[in-house]
Amino acid sequence: MFFIKSVRTKALLCALIPIVAVLFAAAIAYFVYEPEANDVTKQRDIELARVLAARLSDGLGRYSQILQSIAAEDDVQSMEPTSLSSALENAQDQFYAFDAGVVVYNSEGTALSSQPLVPERQETDFPVPSKFAEVREMLRPVFSNIFEDEISGENVTLVGVPIVGADGEFKGVLAGMSTIKYSLIGAMYAEVLEFTAGSEGYAYLVDSNGWVIYHRYSLQVGRNLADTEPVMQVTGGETGAVLTKDATGDTVICGFAPVPGTDWGIITQGKWVDVVGPFQNYSNLLLGLLVSGGIISGLLIFFQIGRILRPIRDLTTGAQRITKGDFNYTIVAKTGDEIQTLAQQFNTMADTLKKHTVSLKEEITQRKQAEKKLRKAHDELEVKVAKRTEELSQANIRLKELDKLKSMFIASMSHELRTPLNSIIGFIGIILEGISGKITKNQRKELTMAKNSADHLLVLISDVIDVSKIEAGEIKLGIEEFNLSNIAQEVKNSFKVAAEEKGLELSLEMHEKLVIKSDERRTKQVLINFVSNALKFTDKGKVEMKVAKKDGKVEVSVRDTGIGIKKETMPKLFKQFSRIHVKGAPIKEGTGLGLYLSKKIADLLGGDVSAESEFGKGSLFTFTLPIKYKGVKK
């Protein structure tokens, strides 16, 4: 502003420039916010769609489980029309959600019986051949798209579960059909899909052809939305979010995700104005306040500077002479106020400047250079801090996303694996109890081994879930008194057959009654891990279990005469996914979680685990617990 001669104008501009700069920065922030809000809101709607899809999958699973329990009954397994009718009639109270009927189809897809009994359904074919083939091939529940029921004439969806014999033979399909407009299953859709996102946010459900299965507005149910952008993407198996237009032309944001276990998709929808509207209102208010404040500040500064500058003009001539280097010029001002004091200071300053001009110029030059370096270092530091802050923020966001995906994966794995394993264990139990007829000794032995294997798989699933819960700090202990000797005896008995098959001697030395207060299930889990590992890595000799009191604690040890563990492997023995190797190859199959989980459980119960081993001669694993639980080990 060197070309401006008026001090008043300069002062006014100096006051207004920061205000204008703030207004400009506010405008930039507004334009930067919208794409950021777009990305953040899309991610929010994607996660919301995924969560709703997972919840809906769980809800649908309850209805398929109802049909699975009926399909496992003896009368249904017989596939005799009279027995089927009796079984369906007895279970009719459980079919409240299947208002279009429940039908049993044989292995060829022909109807044998229905509830309610509708003669027209007899000898009809399975209405969705592709889904029948999927049940037959995969032996798991399926959910169909919308189709027109040829008996009732209503648009319905179908849940089909396989009817599988004890020997694994596919016998047919038990199918439950629900109308999309009247079935009580719609209440479950409403409970899962109703949420609040803005003033008019909602979610709806479509099949893979784009037909609406559920919608907040009932008139939309049964409509085909396959030509809309979010439906086209979700029916293609994609997960994401888009900005699009609704039927009224308003801009909306839609998140979408496939429903696990089905061909269906979830779409969430909310008005974009609900996202950007509040910010726009606040931005307009802020800009108005800044403009008003700038105008008022400018006026006040203008008038105040005019009043202050009047007496200062009298000093202008003297100040100009001094600035030209005439340090001998004396300013005379007799105002009796600060101006007079200022004149005196000018005179003193002139005398001082005369003496120190050269040294002062040099000092000023040095300070400017130092200030320039300091400002540069400050600017570089600010850039580095901002970059690091952004990196940490992004890392935190990714970590949270990974935690959610991990929880969703573990929940899905538990549901997908536990259900068939429990069915297998249940069917084997029925056979072992002789309900389905007598079995030979060899058959009993084979079935017992199969049941033990299934039980072991459930234990592995529980290990993975327990590790996840322990690491997330969500595990709950069941502390109660129990007889540790009985637990050790149960573990020995459970591995008796496995030891005999390998020709190993499995022994147990213990007190008859050794009562402690701890978590019974997890204590047993550690013992099972130790004995299982001992038998796995021992090909000849014996495995010895010992339960005893020692130094006010209880100690359970498992010693084997197996292959042993190399010295270099010992430090990482109880680490996650650690597995024993010989010459670079694993000796036996395993997940690498057993010993890691045993260590974590011991810490939770206030105890400890340890291992001793000599390669080629065997190993000793020891589990120590306090007699009474005193809290988590720090």
Which has the higher per-residue pLDDT, 3 or 288? 288
Cβ neighbours for 160, distance < 8 A, ≥ 6 positions apart: 67, 126, 131, 132, 135, 141, 142, 144, 173, 174, 175, 176
Burial of 406-444, coded b for 16+ CB within 10 Å and e otherwise, reads: eeeebeeeeeeeebebebbbebbeebeeeeeeeeeeeee
Q: The dihedral of CA 219, 221, 225, 230: what is its sign? A: positive
Q: Which positions ≥6 away from 391 have C-beta within 8 Å?
A: none
Looking at per-residue confidence, does 287 or 252 come out higher? Answer: 252
Is residue 584 very low, low, confident or very high in pLDDT (cuts 50, 70, 90)? very low
């030059």: which residue's tokens?
A: 365
Q: What is the pLDDT of residues 295-325, one digit of tens each?
A: 787 676 666 565 555 556 656 776 677 777 6
Say what the pLDDT of residue 587 is: 42
pLDDT tens per residue, range 492-549: 999 999 999 999 999 999 877 889 999 999 999 999 999 998 999 999 999 999 999 9
- Measured between alpha carbons, how far is residue 471 from residues 476, 604, 624 in Å? 12, 12, 22
| CATH number of the domain located at residue range(s) 476-626 in this protein | 3.30.565.10
Buried b / exposed e over 52-71, threshold 16 CB at 10 Å, is bbbbbbebbbebbebbbebb
Beta pairing, strands 515-519 & 585-586: unpaired
Q: Which helix (H) or strand (E) holds 548?
A: strand 542-550
Mean predicted confidence (pLDDT) in 574-579: 62
Residues 456/529, Cβ–Cβ less than 8 Å: no
Segments of 235-311 assigned E as strands:
240-245, 251-258, 265-271
Q: Give the integer Cα–Cα distance in Å for 613 and 374.
A: 62
Q: What is the mean pLDDT of residues 143-147?
A: 96
pLDDT for 152-170, tens place per residue?
Answer: 899 999 999 999 998 989 9
333 pLDDT higher than 70: no
Q: Which fold has domain 75-179?
A: Beta-Lactamase (3.30.450)
Q: How far apart are CA 430 and CA 438, in angstroms?
A: 11
pLDDT digits (tens, 9 = 90+) for 365-416: 888 888 898 889 888 898 998 988 888 888 878 876 766 666 566 656 666 7
Instruction: Name the phi and psi angles at 439, rounded to 5.
Output: -130, 155
Q: What pLDDT sits at residue 588?
A: 45
Mean pLDDT of 257-265: 95
- pLDDT tens-digit profile of 19-53? 677 666 666 665 666 677 678 888 988 999 999 99
| Token pair for 333 | 């001002």
Structure tokens at 105: 């189809």
Question: Which CATH number applies to 1-71+194-204+212-314: 3.30.360.10, 3.30.420.40, 3.30.70.260, 3.30.450.20?
Answer: 3.30.450.20
Straight-line distance from the first to the last Cα atom of the chain, in angstroms, rounded to the nearest whole number: 68
The Cα 73–Cα 66 span in angstroms is 12
- Mean pLDDT, residues 620-624 taken together: 95
pLDDT tier for residue 196 given thresholds of 50, 70 and 90: low
Q: What is the mean pLDDT of the chain?
A: 82
- Enter the tokens of residue 492: 């020995």
Whole-angstrom Cα distance, residue 356 to residue 364? 12
Q: Which residue has the higher pLDDT, 596 or 132?
A: 132
The three-class DSSP label of residue 388 is helix
**pLDDT interval class at 439 (50, 70, 90):** confident
Does the pLDDT at position 65 exceed 60? yes
β partners of residue 270: 253
Asked whether residue 345 carries a pLDDT value surpassing 60, the answer given is yes
Per-residue pLDDT at 176 exceeds 80: yes
Q: pLDDT tens digits, residue range 234-251?
A: 999 999 999 999 888 888
